[in-house]
Amino acid sequence: MQVAEFEVVFTFRQAIDPRSEPWTREQVLAEVGSVMPGIEVPDSRFIDFERAGEAQLIADCACCNDMVLGQPLPPSERLLDLANLAARAQMSDGRVLEGLGSHVLGDPVLALIWFVGEMSSAGQRIEAGQFLSTGACVTPIPVEPGQTVRADFGWLGAMSVRFV
């Protein structure tokens, strides 16, 4: 696919067992062990993934491939405002792209709540330390071998990846 996606990534502080009650925002945030920037490098076994179809892409693990994680931070009150988190991509070829946390379902925390709820309703346990990437804050960025991308997530941190 040759793209990079800037994502907010969470880990869980302890194992979370399935339950029948719905999860609230406050309850899910209380389970966060850390938050960090991440760069996903998605890929698909389908050459023409845009036309593969929803069921095939889900079976293909939603094009998940590689994930580069930044420095984790402990949870704080800043998690309450991830929708306004600014993300900026600086490419070695001079391109600059910008995005916001709100590009992920309106707020990356909503993706986190959805994940915990789906795992719980499916009877699946979430393990301590397991990480969840929430979705692209910046439009997927086409990359070529030899390029470097610098991801700046403001207070969340910055990181760089070189593509080979």
pLDDT given for residue 66 in this prediction: 83
pLDDT of residue 52: 61
Dist CA 72 CA 62 (whole Å): 24
Whole-number pLDDT of residue 3: 85
Q: What is the pLDDT of residue 21?
A: 94
Say if residues 149 and 88 touch (Cβ distance below 8 Å): no
Residue 1 is predicted with a pLDDT of 59
Nearest to 8 by CA among 163, 116, 131: 131
Q: What is the CATH number of the domain that holds 88?
A: 3.90.850.10
How far apart (Å, rounded) are the C-alpha atoms in residues 17 and 132? 16
Burial class (CB in 10 A: 0-12, 13-18, 19+), 97: middle
Q: Sort 92 into a burial class: Cβ within 10 Å, 0-12 / 13-18 / 19+.
A: middle
> What's the total number of domains in the chain?
1
**CA 154/CA 163 separation, integer angstroms:** 23
Which residue range forms the structural domain that includes residue 37? Answer: 3-162
| Rounded average pLDDT per 10-residue block, the chain, 164 residues | 88 96 96 96 64 60 74 95 96 96 96 95 96 91 93 97 92
The whole-number pLDDT of residue 153 equals 97
